[in-house]
Amino acid sequence: MLKTTRREWLGLTAAGVRGCSFSRWMTRLACDTEEAAERKRSCILLWMPGGPSQMDTFDLKPEHKNGGEFKEIKTSVPGIRFSEHLPQLAQRMNEMAVIRSMSTKEGDHGRATYLMRTGYLPQGPIRHPTMGSLFSKELARDGADLPNFISIAPFRFLSPAAYGPGFLGPQFAPLVVGAGQPGQTDDVDASLQVENLKLSENVTAAQAGARLQLLEQIETGFRAERPGLAVNSHRSAYELAVRMMQAGGAAAFDLSEEPDELRDSYGRNRFGQGCLLARRLVERGVPFVEVSLSSPDGNGAIGWDTHQNNFPAVQSLSEVLDAGWATLMSDLKERGLLDSTLIVWMGEFGRTPVINGNAGRDHFPAAWSTVLAGGGIQGGQVYGQTSEDGMKVTDKPVSTPDLLATICTALGIDPLRQNMSNVGRPLRIVDPDAVPIREILT
């Protein structure tokens, strides 16, 4: 295709059109991109569909028969130890807060996914928004070149509604990349591209500009006579789409700009490269990015659902996780972005301490772990405790709303803010009974 810079495109557009006024889309775009927006805190959610085993990641019990095969290793913080298969993360423990006392009630994938990702249980007709939609709405920047919520390699199968904007509406839906099914594309780079972000090869830049102006001309009359949400959302979607196309939106997704060495350390798999993409997006001001790790090769299975052969599965997932996540933290830190970026690691529940007859672990919501790291978090600590056999929380239990309220607070969002729901009553971002964990917040 014709390679054209944004400036050239604007120039061509202005020259190429006769008989109609210069599109406001173009002028507005040119002004906005000149101004550097003030940075707010961003969030990267590392989502582990299927439910990762706390007993084999962040809350090992090597003394107990439930402990299993893995050994503990020392971390950079004296006294805190976790899995031997997360050695790089162990070196970053001073930036992480491990919560070992998650305690929830949902042991079904669908309901638990919905609960952890929206903060609420499914309740009849209410369509709860996923946290990316909720938080990015609060953190949104005006005039941004990229969408405020980007979801990388989501595994939506377990609860599709838990991945959507719910009652907030499609304006708050994530831009999804890397959701391709196995076999569709084995090319990690290609799978992480945004579809249709580039002009078709048969359309010149000048022609694209002329088309937009024709569109603007057609829109003007219709829009003026029909004010309201439908027409406005069409306008804002097209504006943002054009903005992404022109302002190097495609470049944000072009991982080939990164040094090979760095790409290798993230791990040459969908999750690792997804973490790298997350860094590039956060660097460009995107306030909420989620990256899912469903299986080591990103082939769309739910690898963390280890009912059988738990240990080899968790080991290979841990290796992918360790490289991607730890490199993400060091990379953010080197760029001075770790303080302004909160990283959240969680799945929908944990796994049974008791090892079943198939050397597996089953669903277990009663006592499990999540991790918060980076911006807004007082690192280097473990919060809460489980019993020696791992069967119950013995100190400082944390509920789903407590966790989400903590995330909100770390991001500078008031968890009690309300949104109007689809059933005609307002709903707070997080259940008002929630108590943020002050001890782990900066």
Partner 1 sequence: MKRLWMGIFVVVAAANTVGLLHADEVDELAGTIDRHIAARWSEENVVPAPAADDAEFLRRAYLHLTGKIPRVSEVRAFLDDPAPDKRRALVDRLLESPGYIVNFTSVFRSLMIPEAEAEPQFLINVPAFEAWLRVRFADNVPYDETVHELLTTSGSGNDNFAGRNLGPVEPNPAIFYRAKQNKVENVAANVSRLFLGVRLECAQCHDHPFAKWRRQDFWQFAAFFETPAGKIKIPDTDQVVEATYLSGEKAVPPSGTSVRNELATWLTSSENPYFARATVNRLWFHFFGTGLVDPVDDFDADNPASHPELLDELATEFAEHNFDLKYLMRGIVASRAYQLTSRQTDGSQSDPRRFAKKAIQGLTTGQLFDSLAEATGYYESNAERNPLNMNENSERAKFRQLFGNEAGEPANAETTILQALALMNGEFVETATDLEQSTTLAAVVESPFLDTAERVRTLYLAALSRYPSEAELASMVQYVDSGGPSDEPQTALADLFWALLNSSEFILNH
Residue 5 makes contact with partner 1 by CB under 8 A = no
Least CB distance from residue 158 to partner 1, whole Å?
10
Residue 219 makes contact with partner 1 by CB under 8 A = yes
Q: Which of 202, 260, 336, 438 binds partner 1 (CB under 8 A)?
A: 202
> Within positions 112 to 171, which residues make up the interface with partner 1, using CB under 8 A?
123-125, 127, 147, 157, 160-161, 163-164, 169-171
Residue 244 makes contact with partner 1 by CB under 8 A = yes
Residue 420 makes contact with partner 1 by CB under 8 A = no
Whether the CB-CB separation of 101 and 387 falls below 8 Å is answered with no
Kindly state the DSSP code that residue 441 receives in the 8-state scheme.
B
Q: Considering beta carbons, is residue 125 or 357 the nearer one to partner 1?
A: 125
Residue 74 makes contact with partner 1 by CB under 8 A = no
Question: Which two three-digit tokens encode residue 408?
Answer: 């909100």
Distance CA 310, CA 68 (A): 9
Query: To which residue do tokens 């991790």 refer?
Result: 371
Distance CA 189, CA 435 (A): 41
Span of 50-58, 192-200, 263-271, 363-371 interacting with partner 1 by CB under 8 A: 192-200
Distance CA 251, CA 259 (A): 15
Query: To which residue do tokens 């989620």 refer?
Result: 290
Backbone dihedral region of 19: left (phi > 0), alpha (psi from -120 to 50 degrees) or beta?
A: left
Residue 195 makes contact with partner 1 by CB under 8 A = yes
Residue 173 makes contact with partner 1 by CB under 8 A = yes
DSSP string, 117-148: HHSS---TT--PPPHHHHHHHHH--TT-SS-S
Least CB distance from residue 75 to partner 1, whole Å?
40
Q: Which of 73, 176, 354, 391 binds partner 1 (CB under 8 A)?
A: 176
Residue 314 makes contact with partner 1 by CB under 8 A = no
Q: CB under 8 Å to 42, separation ≥6 — which residues?
A: 139, 282, 285, 286, 287, 288, 289, 337, 340, 341, 342, 375
Span of 238-246, 281-289, 322-330, 365-373 interacting with partner 1 by CB under 8 A: 238-246
Distance CA 366, CA 393 (A): 7
Binders of partner 1: how many residues, by CB under 8 A? Answer: 68
Least CB distance from residue 218 to partner 1, whole Å?
5
Residue 7 makes contact with partner 1 by CB under 8 A = no
Residue closest to 325 by CA, chosen among 58, 62, 14, 50:
58
Q: Residues interacting with partner 1, by CB under 8 A?
A: 12, 16-20, 123-125, 127, 147, 157, 160-161, 163-164, 169-171, 173, 175-176, 181, 184, 194-200, 202-204, 206-207, 209-212, 214-215, 217-219, 221-223, 225-231, 233-235, 237-238, 240-242, 244-245, 422-424
